[in-house]
Amino acid sequence: MKNIKKILAGATAVATLMAMAACGSSNESGDASDSQNLTIAWWGNQDRNEKQDAIDKAFEAANEGVSIDGQPSEWSDYWQKLSTSAAGDSMPDVIAMDYSYFNEYVENGLIIPLDEYIEDGTIDTTNIDESILASGQKDGSQYLISSGSSSPAMIYNKTLLDEAGIEMPEEMDLDEFKALAKEVYEKTGVKTNFRYYEASELLEYVMRGEGKTLFEDEGLGVTAEDVEPYFDVYEEGINEGWHISPEVFAEITAGSVDQDPVVYGSDPSSMSWVSFKFTSQMPAMQALTDDDLALAPWPAADVTAANYIKPGQFWAISKSCENPQLAAEFINYYTNNEDAVTTMGTDRGLPVSSAMMTVLEEQLSADEQEIATFLNDVVTPNSSAINPPSPAAASTVNSQTLPEIEENILYGAITAKDAAATFVEEANGAY
Amino acid sequence: MSQASAVPGRRLGEAGVQFKKQGRFARFMTLERTSGVVCALPFIIGFLVFLLVPILLSFYYTLTDYSIIGEAKFIGIQNYLDMFSDDKFFKSLGVTFFYALVSTPLRLVFALFVAMLLLKNSKVSGFYRAAYYLPSILGGSVAVAILWKQMFAADGVVNQVLGMFGLETDFAWLGNESTAIWTLIILGVWQFGSSMLIFLASLKQIPTELYEAASVDGASKARQFWKITLPLLTPTIFFNLVMQSINGFLAFTQCYIITQGKPRNSTLFYMVYMYDESFTRHHAGYGAALAWVMLLIVGLYTGFLFLTKRFWVYDEEA
């Protein structure tokens, strides 16, 4: 019996040691290793994944002995995978980062500063605009390199509107938008999707149009009265019949480009003429439909105050990365190599390097040309600086508070007035 | 092993005889109980490292504010207190209880019914048993969940079949608060295979003399079922009831893939809520607390079932 106890005690000790060793190992081997393997994680759709794979292969070909493991996910799965791998200290080496998660990841020390790689020239930033670089900085250090610029945009079905003889105004406010949506529904039977069950950018945008900031550091910068007009759109839309019924969304993944009601659905009543997206998502959506899609700014009281250029996505190097030098080379390749830039096209937005933009401009497809024109001629002259990155509380608001309140309005469970009050209370509670 | 050895456990193997003079280690290694422990070691290590350590860690996390990507901050029992003011916690608990307590009995009735049909031995009964077991293997899978979602869509197979019977409809089964949960319950009932196999095995255990005697006495088939089959099956029913309700409480995939709790949280399973809290909203401490509360609930529920056992479960020895 004694022996068994000894063995058990030994086994426990071994197991504990192993567990501790497993936790410790990746911390120690920080920079010395010359691993030639890079794992690269991003979110995207089929279209983007294929383009990214092609770039990864070209980078492998250009650097002997390097092998790249690409790990694409859908947007919502991406953040779950990334946070769990962060907890296990086994993050991919190069990760796609979004503006809304930037603060959380920097504050927890999960991504490393890129300053030394920029200083020694590994990452060439000479052709990148100051304001674009600034959006990836925090506390004086550069953490992120933007992988493309985009802006909020309504991606709408131009063919449908043309056939119905409806003119799309250059800019509109919420009331004009509601009138337009109603007109489209009456003439074509096609409904509207007012960015239902997605993150809060549209609400933030509408608030910017009123000169207000949705997320401030210590709480919301808006009152129930401020946000009520936003929720009114849902209430009026569902009462007057022109907003898509929430039942349709039970069958699709909200936010997915591939299943967006503009390009997906079998019946006008389950389809939308417009989707509130970003310019970078246009080519992927256009690829899914024969109708001609076009871009317009989101509605707001003051579109110039509301609109902004957004660094579409960023690249960052995680603290688990064993060979940051190689990772930095990859980011530079993505940003400053002609082949890489032309392969990706405008999928993540327009290239951030002005030199690369010149190269790309010559070979843009018609869709991509449309995006470039929209960004350069419509948005840039009529926009304001982007809000600072959102506080951590925004992730609860984006994934739960706002979508569920919108759902409650569409199911007729609460009025827009109550929705506005509930939203402000719950969103402040998330801080 | 020979029967000659007088002291079990101290007995030497064939090889042990040869090593007899080579010291205590060799002797120790050839002891039967040593080899037993060595063989069990992979499991013991696996249990300690992959189950016990995470379980204890997760209990520690219930006492912290832990965002997964940041440090865990100790906050005492605050997570447990927060549950009392969390509407979604009660909502998901209600949904999960409804699901488990409705789908389990339905599934058992169905499983028993099919088991009775398949009891007769014929050339094709083996095929049918396998065919009916298939859904249980597939049922928890992502592919079937996606299939289910398509079937119950407004333009899905279910509505088309209804259309063939003259019930033209584009009813959104998944989008309606009163029907969405039932699509999940039907999926649950469809996975009756493993209960069915257990019923089948124990139906075969019932001595045929009992039925012969009953029919000599003139008992009808129905009466034989109620007076012989069912009472003798109660231990199996009890086992299935316990196992399947626990499965019901812990159901995840169906909800996560098919409905994601929509509409308006009317199909929000407890496990999915826990998952969302932990991984989507980065409240891993709260998520861990939810898990421990579920453990308590499952424990209490199972204990309750065991208490009722003596009122309805047939015990041969009694």
Co-location of A423 and A286 in the same domain: yes
Nearest Cβ partner for B279 among A80, A104, A267: A80
A255 burial class (0-12, 13-18, 19+ CB within 10 angstroms)?
A: middle
Distances (CA, A) of B34 to A2, B5, B8: 12, 17, 13
Co-location of A285 and A178 in the same domain: yes
Tokens 């092609």 found at:
A54
Report long-range pairs for B288-295 (Cβ below 8 Å, ≥24 apart): B288/B58, B288/B59, B288/B61, B288/B62, B288/B66, B288/B79, B289/B62, B289/B79, B289/B80, B289/B83, B290/B83, B290/B89, B291/B58, B291/B62, B292/B58, B292/B59, B292/B62, B293/B80, B293/B83, B294/B249, B294/B250, B294/B270
Question: What DSSP letter does each residue of B137-205 carry, written as one string?
Answer: HHHTSHHHHHHHHHHTSTTSHHHHHHHHTT------TTTSTTTHHHHHHHHHHH--HHHHHHHHHHHHH
Co-location of A245 and A116 in the same domain: no
For residue B154, the chain A residues in CB contact (below 8 A) are: 247-248, 251, 270
Contact B174 A4 (CB under 8 A): no
**What 3-state DSSP class applies to A272?**
strand
Radius of gyration for the alpha carbons in chain A, expressed in angstroms and rounded: 24
Co-location of A285 and A400 in the same domain: yes
Q: Which domain holds residue A402?
A: 152-307+391-429
Express each pLDDT in B89-108 by its tens digit.
Answer: 999 999 999 999 999 999 99
User: Residue A90 belongs to a domain with what CATH number?
Assistant: 3.40.190.10
Q: Is A27 a domain residue? A: no
Q: Is the dihedral of CA B188, B190, B194, B197 positive or negative?
A: positive
Co-location of A327 and A423 in the same domain: no
Interface residues of chain B, partner chain A, Cβ below 8 Å? 28, 31, 33-34, 37, 41, 44-45, 48-49, 53, 67-71, 149, 153-155, 170, 172, 174-177, 180, 259, 262-265, 276, 279-282, 284
Buried b (16+ CB within 10 A) or exposed e, A120-130: eebbebeebee
Co-location of A135 and A156 in the same domain: no
Co-location of A220 and A232 in the same domain: yes
Contact B37 A84 (CB under 8 A): no
For residue B44, the chain A residues in CB contact (below 8 A) are: 8, 11
For residue A8, the chain B residues in CB contact (below 8 A) are: 44
Q: Check residue A160 and give its pLDDT.
A: 94
Test the B interface: residue of A6, A20, A83 with most B CBs within 10 Å: A83
Size of interface A-B (CB pairs under 8 A): 105
Among chain B residues, the shortest Cα distance to A78 is held by B280
Q: What average pLDDT score do residues A260-276 get? A: 90
Q: Check residue A268 and give its pLDDT.
A: 87
d(C-alpha B159, C-alpha B62), whole Å? 45
pTM (2 decimals)? 0.82
Q: Check residue A274 and give its pLDDT.
A: 95
- Does pLDDT of A23 surpass 50? no
Test the B interface: residue of A3, A251, A264, A409 with most B CBs within 10 Å: A251
Among chain B residues, the shortest Cα distance to A101 is held by B69
Distances (CA, A) of A262 to A42, A191, A269: 24, 10, 11
Interface residues of chain A, partner chain B, Cβ below 8 Å? 3-4, 7-8, 11-12, 14-16, 18-19, 76, 79-80, 83-84, 86-87, 104-105, 107-108, 110, 245-251, 266-267, 270, 392, 395-396, 399-400, 404, 407-408, 411, 413
**Number of structural domains found in chain A:** 2
Co-location of A157 and A228 in the same domain: yes
Express each pLDDT in A74-87 by its tens digit.
Answer: 888 898 899 989 98
Maximum distance among all Cα pairs of chain A, rounded to whole angstroms:
90
Q: Is A12 a domain residue? A: no
Instruction: Choose among A174, A201, A213, A178: nearest CA to A305.
Output: A213
What residue ranges in chain B does DSSP mark as E strands? 64-65, 73-74
Q: What average pLDDT score do residues B241-255 get? A: 91
For residue A248, the chain B residues in CB contact (below 8 A) are: 154, 172, 175
- Does pLDDT of A27 surpass 70? no
Chain mean position to CA A15: 42
Q: How many CB atoms lie within 10 A of CB B165?
A: 7
Contact A4 B37 (CB under 8 A): yes
Co-location of A165 and A71 in the same domain: no
Co-location of A136 and A156 in the same domain: no
Q: Check residue A28 and give its pLDDT.
A: 38
Express each pLDDT in A158-203 by its tens digit.
Answer: 999 999 999 999 999 999 999 999 999 999 999 999 999 988 999 9
Whole-complex ipTM: 0.80
Q: Is A30 a domain residue? A: no
For residue B42, the chain A residues in CB contact (below 8 A) are: none
User: Any idea what the Cα angle at residue B147 is, between residues B142 and B148, rounded to 5°?
Assistant: 95
For residue A259, the chain B residues in CB contact (below 8 A) are: none
Nearest Cβ partner for A250 among B45, B53, B175: B175
Among chain A residues, the shortest Cα distance to B280 is held by A80
d(C-alpha B260, C-alpha A74), whole Å? 16
Contact B45 A8 (CB under 8 A): no
Q: Is A8 a domain residue? A: no
Q: Is A9 a domain residue? A: no
**What 3-state DSSP class applies to A307?**
coil
Tokens 């996910």 found at:
A73
Among chain A residues, the shortest Cα distance to B261 is held by A250
Q: Is A15 a domain residue? A: no
Co-location of A278 and A291 in the same domain: yes
Q: What six digits make up the tokens of A20?
A: 């501790």
Q: What six digits make up the tokens of A398?
A: 């984006």
Express each pLDDT in A350-388 by its tens digit.
Answer: 888 888 988 888 888 888 888 989 998 999 889 998 998
Radius of gyration for the alpha carbons in chain B, expressed in angstroms and rounded: 26
Test the A interface: residue of B69, B147, B148 with most A CBs within 10 Å: B69
Express each pLDDT in A273-327 by its tens digit.
Answer: 999 999 988 888 998 999 999 999 999 999 999 999 988 789 999 999 999 999 9
- The more confidently predicted of residues A119 and A368 is A119
Co-location of A263 and A398 in the same domain: yes
Contact B263 A4 (CB under 8 A): no
Q: Check residue A152 and give its pLDDT.
A: 94
Express each pLDDT in B32-80 by its tens digit.
Answer: 888 888 899 999 999 998 999 999 999 999 999 998 888 889 999 999 9
The whole-chain average pLDDT of chain A stands at 88
Q: Is A299 a domain residue? A: yes
Q: Is A66 a domain residue? A: yes
Domains and CATH numbers, chain B: 87-311 (1.10.3720.10)
Express each pLDDT in B165-211 by its tens digit.
Answer: 888 777 888 888 889 999 999 988 988 888 999 999 999 989 989 99
Contact A399 B67 (CB under 8 A): no
- Does pLDDT of A38 surpass 90? yes
- Does pLDDT of B311 surpass 80? yes
- The more confidently predicted of residues A335 and A13 is A335
